[in-house]
Amino acid sequence: MTLLERLRRRMPKDSFLRNIGWMGIGEVGIRVSRLLATVLLARLLTAEDYGVAAIVLMTTEFVRVFTRNGIGDKLVQADADEVSELCQTAWCLNWLIGIGLFVVQLGGSFAVARFYDNQRLILPIMLVGCTYLIYPLAMVQTALVRRENRLKIFSLTNLAQVVADNLLTGLLAVLGFGMWAIVLPKLLVAPVWVGMMLYHQRWRPRAVFTLERWRRILGFGSRILGVEMLNTFRENVDYLLIGRFIGMKALGVYFFAFNAGLGLSLSVINALGVSLYSDLCLVSSQPDLLRQRFGRNLITISKVIVPIVLLQASLSPLYVPLVFGQKWVTEGAVPILVLICLSALSRPFANAASMLLRSVGLPQVDLIWNLAFTVVLTLGVLVGTGWGSLGVAAAVAVIHLGLQPLYLLLARRLVFGQGKSVTV
């Protein structure tokens, strides 16, 4: 009996728990490889190298957010009788968007280099932009895998891609590639995801270009895209303002602290979000079952995320100098890491609220909330820069912990307030 067969037999019958199990297995492998890469980077790269890499990845995220446009979410949520036609349109839309984003990132590289007065940024930003010409090959297949609730495939594909990324990062760091060790693997591992999704999901496009029902897809997806754009801005606004007002070295220290402190928690949160959305979509038309399943899943999320975050935050003064090196303690990364880590306590619950609203066809509510939250966070980070990187980290923690639980209460009231769910 193979290892996968043994794991499969031990998996619980509950679909959400089973999917978390598969996603968890993937995250174990990811974290082991990422820990190796992070240790090597922390010991071999300078704070300035981290700062340059942070700007490259931040710029890419601002462009790549347009690939998280809700097209795949619509395929997951759509009725069975319209999926086939929507898939062909989604394929064409993904290619149009991918080519457009490639062109935008090429041109944007010069603007970013001018903004930060650093010509080193141009080539890596251009290079990472080439991924937009690779991922459209498998975006529809990825959505169908999620629709079929085959998150084992999703998890194993993610595992293969991220482990390859981390191992390449560590190898290139050892070979002396500097900030290229962080940037270059993002392009090199893109074919891993595409190849595995094409192998496991047999849907293939017809040799015809069509935009039939594009309004139905983009009407749903545009609100999700708005949310993802706001999420991306929030996730990078601290980098943007620190790099601009405090300096590249301070950004490097903050970027290290963020990744060393929140990397594990964000991986778990993202895994929970993917599992939760697929699980809720299956019962979105059954109000009582939806309420029951959402409540049960929230309990599961609490049991997973709270111990991880508290344990990591409490142990950070011990493991940072031992694992990453004393220089990061000297640079003041530990208190920043603790604050950023604690901000993760509320993030999965806000994410759960978003998934609930999307599953019942109310992404516009999610969009309005995220707009308001982004404005508050941006103002808080801007004020926090007056006290350096530590002030920014404190602002991030206070705003997340103070406001995100309110969003969960709001979402539950909107969907279940009258004893029934709302679908459109």
Taking 70 as the threshold, does the pLDDT of residue 28 lie above it?
no
Token pair for 79: 């009725």
Left if phi > 0, otherwise alpha if psi is -120 to 50, otherwise beta: which for 209? beta
Contact residues for 416 (Cβ-Cβ < 8 A; gap 6+): 287, 291
pLDDT digits (tens, 9 = 90+) for 257-290: 887 777 666 666 766 666 777 778 878 888 888 8
Question: Are the C-beta atoms of 233 and 62 separated by less than 8 Å?
Answer: yes
pLDDT digits (tens, 9 = 90+) for 120-168: 889 999 999 999 999 999 999 999 998 887 877 887 888 888 888 888 9
Strands in 137-211 per DSSP E: none
* pTM (whole model) above 0.75: no
Taking 90 as the threshold, does the pLDDT of residue 235 lie above it?
no
Question: Are the C-beta atoms of 337 and 261 separated by less than 8 Å?
Answer: yes
Q: Indicate the domain borders of the chain.
A: 47-212, 227-416
pLDDT for position 92: 92
Question: Cα dist. 74→140, 216, 321 in Å?
Answer: 11, 9, 46
pLDDT digits (tens, 9 = 90+) for 296-353: 888 888 888 888 888 888 888 888 888 788 888 888 899 999 999 999 899 989 989 9
